[in-house]
């Protein structure tokens, strides 16, 4: 999935929010209990992520080539919101595909 950032910056510029990470409690993951991966928790309607086809519950495996499968929540945010990168290419896992 390819997302072109909007100029507002941060996660709002991408149009989605994330949860999870190796430093978070996996039992609170509503999509895959006991999974410490990074998951999409919310997608803003009509935002860049929604237009690209990202859905709540999608597991983000990579962002612009950075492996997020063993990332902390803070590191995942850092990779997703790098200011110099206007396009974010995500490799995701979606169980129903």
Please list, residue by residue across 52-87, b when 16 or more beta carbons sit within 10 angstroms of its beta carbon and e when fewer do. bebeebbbbeebeeeebeebbbebbbebbbeeeeee
Per the confidence metrics, is the pTM higher than 0.85? yes
Chain length of the chain: 97
Q: How many CB atoms lie within 10 A of CB 7?
A: 6
Over the stretch 77-94, which tens digit does the pLDDT of each residue have? Answer: 999 988 788 899 999 999
DSSP code at position 71: -
Which architecture, in CATH terms, is 2-93? Roll (2.30)
All structural domains of the chain with their residue ranges? 2-93
DSSP code at position 24: S
Over the stretch 26-60, which tens digit does the pLDDT of each residue have? Answer: 888 888 888 999 999 999 999 999 999 999 999 99
3-class secondary-structure state, position 10: helix
């Amino acid at each position: 999935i390819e997302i072109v950032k909007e100029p507002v910056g941060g996660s709002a510029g991408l149009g989605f929010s994330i949860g999870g990470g190796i430093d978070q409690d996996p039992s609170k993951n509503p999509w895959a209990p006991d999974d410490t991966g990074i998951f999409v928790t919310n997608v803003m309607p009509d935002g860049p992520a929604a237009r690209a086809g990202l859905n709540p519950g999608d597991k983000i495996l990579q962002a612009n080539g950075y492996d997020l499968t063993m990332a902390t929540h803070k590191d995942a945010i850092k990779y997703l919101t790098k200011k110099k990168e206007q396009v974010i290419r995500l490799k995701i896992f979606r169980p129903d595909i």
